Amino acid sequence: MTTKLFGEPVRRREDQRLITGKGRYLDDIGHTALAAAFVRSPHAHARITDIDVDEALDVEGLVAIYTYEDLTGPMAEPLPVLIPHPQLHAPRTGFPLANGEVNHVGEPVVMVVATDRYVAEDACDRIVVSYEELPVVVGVDAARAAEHAVHEEIPDNVAARHHQETGDVEPALAAAPRTLSFTQYIERSACMPMEGKGVHAKWDADDSSLRVYTSTQASTSVRAAIAAKLKLSLDKVEVIAPDVGGGFGVKIVHPWPEELLVPLAAINLGREVKWAEDRREHFIGSAHERQQRQEITVGYDDDGRITALDVHIWHDNGAYTPYGIIVPIVTATQLVGPYALPVYRVVVESVFTNTVIVTPYRGAGRPQGCYAMERTMDRIADDLGLDRAVVRERNLIQADQFPYDHRLTFQDGRPVIYDSGDYPGLLDKLRTLVGWSEAEHLRADAAERGKLLGVGMALYVEGTGPGPYEGGHVQVLGSGKVLVSTGLTSQGQGHETAFAQIVASELGVPIEDVEVTTGDTRRFGYAVGTFASRAAVMSGNAIALAARGVREKALRIAADVLEAAPEDLEIDAGLVQVKGVPGTSIPLRTVAVLSNPLRYAFDEAAKQATQFAKAGDDDKPPVAVGDAPGLEHRDYYSPIRSTFASGAHAAIVEIDPATWEIDVVKYAVVHDCGNVVNPMIVEGQVHGGVAQGVGGALYERMAYDADGQLQNASFMDFLMPYASEVPNIDIDHQQTPSPLNPLGIKGAGEAGVIPGTAAIASAIEDAVGRRIASMPISPTELYDLVRDPSSERTATAARREAGAMA
Amino acid sequence: MTDTERTITVTVNGVPREATVPVRRLLSDALRHDLGLTGTHVGCEHGVCGACTVIVDGDPVRSCLMLAVQVDGSEVRTVEGLAREDHQGGQVLHPVQEAFRECHALQCGFCTPGFLMTIAAGLEERDNSVELTEEDVDDMVGGNLCRCTGYANIKKAVHHAAAAMRDA
Amino acid sequence: MKPAPFRYADPRALDEALALLSEDGAKVLAGGQSLLPLLSMRLAAPAVLVDINRVPGLDAIEVDDTGVRVGALVRHSTLLADEGAARVQPLLARATANVAHPAIRNRGTTVGSIAHADPSGEMTSVLALTDGTVTVASAAGTEVLGWRDFFVGPLETSIPGGAVVTSAFFPALPQRSGTAFAEIARRKGDYAVCGAGVVVTLDGDRRVESARASYVSVGLTPEVHDLTDAVAGAPVEQADWAAAGELARTLVDPDTDIHASADYRRLLVGVLTERTLASAAAEAVAGATRE
């Protein structure tokens, strides 16, 4: 059947406009709009003593200047703590424009509105802000030492102390045959989508209504935030996410100051106003992620089976906590990975620093958790002289242990209960795919070429598709066109295609007839957002349920016309027909027409549904009690908890011992996200994730100096991989459907990035025989490590050397 | 004579266009905001990401690293000019555009126009009867950043397009 | 990230350009691949931008037995593709291939990158290594400056405001010589963490007569290091290139930045020197054999 497209590599319908230059990104909208630009703090921590705008007033084309003094009501209050949590005992957020104090370089202080962006920047240049500098806290260690405080009233710099435990860890550790303890670090990177953020606002004074376009991952909640902050009725605000040039997490945070200030100016000035973030602003005015200090103690037996795990993490949350402690919770709960841990305790202390805020970046705390757990596995293997794969294998949750309850509470407040999976299956496939048993041969070959070769692996489990809900609406028009909408947004994941596949398959219509709209509050007002690998799971299932609702109604109406029982009908290629009776059918579009009894024949199709077109039953109302006109259905999917995808990655690196350049020569991925809607799209997500994983392991790092200045706030110095830095990726798949949702799918968006740092650290350690305890690592750092006599050699390296000498 | 504003004439996608621009206007901004060709995207404004790549007088260049006044009298090709019209007024995609769709070489699409222009110029100027090497492909795509695809499918698309152009 | 206001002129003759450049705060715009980012970041804000792209006569590559003269408007990509230039002075194409990416090379000029005097620029070190000169025009006339007199500091040259470099001259490779150029960059096409260009010259008995090197991203201005002492007189097959690398490490004074420590750069100087000298020597042998 042509319409059963679920699971097929359908080419994307988004592409036609995007490859011909007809996409509509934020800065493509409103070419007559005024432009906003911002004066941002050049200091990491300072008191503002004066703002002098006099010099700027002469700039021709200047329209308005806003400082904190111009904000009133809710706008003069701090930005919301978006996700409050009882353990977030000292939340702090900034103001839309700085109120007397700045806490990181890049914090907005003044907004300028002018005829164009050039002029707006001219005016910004002439505004003189006087500061009294305060002591600066940079990095988790400085925050932890608390010699200075980021926020005066929080002297220990601790925003939250997140704590979970599944048993009594201390006696378990004391009873363990063996224990080891270590500390390791992971540094800051960032989402860095190719399109920065941006906001366009248009006020209709006659209608007292506001339309906002914003490059967001959460248009419905931006809408609610704007309405609340600007004291507008929700029905007078519409927010639309146009084509969005990548998100990766940074655009889930909201409301960004600019998302409130640009609409404020538009209302205030009665003009369209637009702000398109430039790259430097994005570096210092958006969000970063990943920096943690991890202190780990593990107890295990002589076979390498873990008996207890105790983890204390210091998490750098930057200057403010608008997104709560989601990243720390995710690290704490996803750290356990595919392993059965008899006793686990985790404490994450989330600390303030005078740096850009930390909010989810693809993976959202999982890469750090994976790094902690997988490097623990490596250490156990090294200590016992066991194969790293074997140690992992011995700790895996087995296929017959599902549902598996970790006795932890996830980021959605729900228990961490793994729904399904086959982790030994993943590991077996990975060993084959990467050639794990061939490693020693490869090492010898490389040695002959003068290279140090190492292999590493890392496994992960990823909670995807958290609630609370998403919705879908499906409507069949009299033209045969099928309109589909959902509230969550798209940033390149191919939602228009995947959701159209689901509707075409569920409803039995040609995919060409299906039109999908996402992230537009005019079409769907209830939504949560696109994050946590949840779009396919949440909106996919909601849309499937909506399509099933439409199907049910269509069969009911068609059954009446065809004088058959609904259960004897099927829909295929847009035709409702009696099963096994060719020719007895009615087009779905006609059913749609009939579903809406009409008085007026505004077009040919409508004529069929008017009151004299057919004989009715005089005893029944045209629209039955409890029914509604139109062939449409709205439905919601609200899961009891997240579904857990999984995967295993392996990397082979070659290192030149003369220059310490690190080359990833092979990268293998085994991936399980349950049932797959579109395998082409899923592979694309994996490719992109792996590239970010490699970037995070070897290239990307936010380099702050001690004064809190970001030293590499440009694409010249913040090293995102080009094509030349990304290895070829071998992928194998496994499918363990989720029993939790109707379509059996699990999320796939973030998976690719999660194990990169862990697997590559493991491979480098294997190659050079020195302990890798800080990531990312660059050639210059590797050189420092290998020539430092105090750096720790691995036991494996010592054994290898002894073996070679024997 | 020095100016602060100029009227320039430039042939864009085969069509002569005129615009009056401040002399400091970047070519990328002039294309997008003065000429309404928003298909050219701006990703970094310091010449590293390649999203704004257009073809000026036959060569791919970064449009954020040129002033609009510098293309006075030149020919510029942008992503909007990559497909050609067929006899029925429809659109025939460039082989590189076809290949990007076929190979899933784009996700968010923001960097895509820059890649398309760079690759189109690269493939058009080479002798496509000669087999394309991995090195050729790396050279063609190596100066553009993409944050979504990990590049695997972009490289695949270059091969795909080269094969289509060879067979055409 | 938009340039601050400036006035602009695109003169059609060198005289006119020089007249415009005499104004305070005037700056030359040639390829613009380094200047435009500085303008957009507002790290440079010239009062007048004098665009020399329409000045005739500055876009020639002149090649003869003595060397290669590269005009101020010759793009990197043009020089890279010039077979005559590569034959007379192979370092030109070898170094140019390491300059950024093709789209940048299509617009950026060789002379512009020399005039920019960035210690991480490839062509500055090639000018030094080949003992090249630049021709500088100003209202006062034309003068030829040796590279040592030209480079004063990082991003700083000796030429006064109002002057423009109209060409650079790279002397031909001497007989019985070979060259090599190699870089290590964090990402392909990035500024080098360290780069090395070398020339090895043999005597009539295929013994090493001289070995010289110049580095990229090492030191504040280009320098040429004579490494001959480590290998002088050795039959080329037996020359101890590693010793030359060791010598080079003692001669350089690199800096630390976020991408590499000074020590690491020094390590790379040694490795790249050894590798490039061996390659250059092999080329010199091949050349000598053909003679």
> pLDDT, tens digit, for every residue of C60-89?
999 999 999 999 999 999 999 999 999 999
Question: Poorest-confidence range of A144-148, B34-38, B90-94?
Answer: B90-94
Q: How many structural domains does chain C have?
A: 3
pLDDT per residue as tens digits for the range A564-623 = 999 999 999 999 999 988 888 999 999 999 999 988 888 888 888 888 877 778 888 888
Q: Which residue segment(s) compose the domain that C222 sits in?
A: 177-290
Indicate the residue among C171, C197, C215 that finishes a domain. Answer: C171
Q: Where are the alpha helices (DSSP H) in A64-218?
A: 117-126, 140-145, 169-175
Cβ within 8 Å of residue A243, ≥6 positions away: A17, A18, A23, A24, A25, B108, B109
Domain end position, chosen among B29, B58, B81: B81
Do B33 and B103 lie in a common domain? no
Which of B49, B81, B113 is a domain's end point?
B81
Residue A645 in tokens: 């995808």
Tell me if C264 and A780 make a contact (CB, 8 A cut-off): yes
- Among B62, B71, B116, the residue to mutate for chain C (most C Cβ within 10 A): B62
Q: Please answer whether residues A418 and A406 qualify as being in contact, where contact means their C-beta atoms are separated by less than 8 angstroms.
A: yes
CB environment A180-217: b (16+ within 10 A), e (fewer)? eebebbbbbbbbbbbbbbbbbbbbeeeeeebbbbbbbb
Please tell me the pTM assigned to this model. 0.97
The SS3 assignment for A602 reads coil
Q: By the 8 A CB rule, do A779 and C264 touch? A: yes
Tokens 């934020």: give the residue: A26
> A617: buried, middle or exposed (CB in 10 Å: 19+, 13-18, 0-12)?
exposed
Residue B157, CA distances (Å) to A492, B104, B149 in order: 18, 8, 12
Parallel/antiparallel/unpaired status of strands A273-276 and A34-40:
parallel
The confidence band for A2, taking pLDDT boundaries of 50, 70 and 90, is very low
Mean pLDDT for B108-126 is 97
| Cβ of residue C184 closer than 8 Å to a chain A Cβ | yes
CATH number at residue C134: 3.30.465.10
- Mutation target to probe the C interface, by most C beta carbons within 10 A, among B65, B141, B158 is B65
Judgement on whether residues C128 and C233 belong to the same structural domain of the protein: no
d(CA A145, CA A138): 11
**How many angstroms separate the CA atoms of C245 and C213, rounded?**
10
Q: Does residue A703 sit at the C interface (CB-CB below 8 Å)?
A: yes
Cross-chain Cβ contact A20/B78 below 8 Å: no
Q: Look at residue A396 and give its three-state secondary structure.
A: strand
Q: What is the CATH number of domain A32-134+197-244+251-285?
A: 3.90.1170.50
Domains: count for chain B: 2
Residues B91, B154, single domain; the answer is yes
Asked if A118 lies within 8 A of C184 by C-beta distance, the reply is no
- For residue B52, the chain C residue with the least C-alpha distance is C103
pLDDT for position A735: 96
- Does residue A308 have a pLDDT over 80? yes
pLDDT at C290: 62
Q: Any idea where the domains of chain A sit in the sequence?
A: 32-134+197-244+251-285, 292-466+640-805, 467-637
pLDDT at position B108 over 50 = yes
Contact flag B26-C36 (C-beta cutoff 8 Å): yes
Tell me the DSSP string of A728-765: PEEEEE-----SSSTT-B---SSGGGTTHHHHHHHHHH
What is the per-residue pLDDT for C291? 58
Local confidence band at A806 (pLDDT 50, 70, 90 cut-offs): low
Instruction: Mark whether C99 and C141 lie in a shared domain.
Output: yes
Q: Which residues of A748-774 are buried (b: 16+ CB within 10 A; e: fewer)?
A: bbbbbbbbbbbbbbbbbbbbbbbbbbe
Across the range A757-778, mean pLDDT stands at: 98
Three-state SS at C129 = helix
C-alpha A519/C-alpha A256 separation (Å) is: 17
Q: How far is C22 from chain A (nearest CA, A)?
A: 26
C4 touching B, CB under 8 A? yes
The token pair at C289 is 């054999």
Q: Are residues B48 and B66 located together in one domain of the fold?
A: yes
Fold of A467-637: Aldehyde Oxidoreductase; domain 4 (3.30.365)
We report the CATH number of the domain holding residue B158 as: 1.10.150.120
Condensed to tens digits (0 to 9), the pLDDT of residues A176-194 reads 999 999 999 999 999 999 9
Q: Amino acid identity, residue A110?
A: V
Question: Which residues of chain A does C189 touch, with a Cβ-Cβ cutoff of 8 Å?
Answer: 722, 724
Do residues A230 and A262 lie in contact, with contact meaning Cβ atoms separated by under 8 Å? no
pLDDT more than 90, % of chain A? 93
**Residue C1 belongs to a domain:** no
Burial class (CB in 10 A: 0-12, 13-18, 19+), A720: buried
Task: Tell me which amino acid residue A470 is.
Answer: E
CB contact under 8 A, C8 and B3: yes
Nearest Cα of chain A lies from the Cα of C69 at a distance, in angstroms, of 31
> Can you tell me whether residue C121 is helix, strand or coil?
coil
C-beta atoms of B41 and A194 within 8 A = yes
pLDDT band for position B8 (50/70/90)? very high
- Partnered with residue A163 across adjacent β-strands are A347
Among the listed residues A547, A541, A499, A504, the one whose alpha carbon sits nearest the alpha carbon of residue A519 = A499
pLDDT band of A3, cuts 50, 70, 90: low
- Chain A neighbours, 3+ Cβ pairs < 8 A: B, C
Summary mean pLDDT of chain A = 96
Instruction: Answer whether CATH 3.30.365.10 is correct for domain A292-466+640-805.
Output: yes
The residue behind tokens 């077979």 is C83
Strand ranges (DSSP E) for A357-410?
Answer: 404-409
Confidence band of C131 (pLDDT split at 50, 70, 90)? very high
How many helices (H) and strands (E) chain B has is answered by: 5, 7
Of the candidates C57, C61, C203, which has an alpha carbon nearest to the alpha carbon of residue C142?
C57
Which tens digits make up the pLDDT trace of B48-99? 999 999 999 999 999 999 999 999 999 999 999 999 988 888 889 999 999 9
Dist CA A468 CA B157 (whole Å): 39
Residue C242 is part of a domain; what is its CATH number? 3.30.390.50
- Mean pLDDT across chain B: 96
> Which chain B residues have a beta carbon less than 8 Å from that of A696?
none
Which residues neighbour C73 within 8 Å (Cβ) at sequence distance 6 or greater? C30, C52, C53, C55, C58, C59, C109, C111
SS3 state at B35: coil
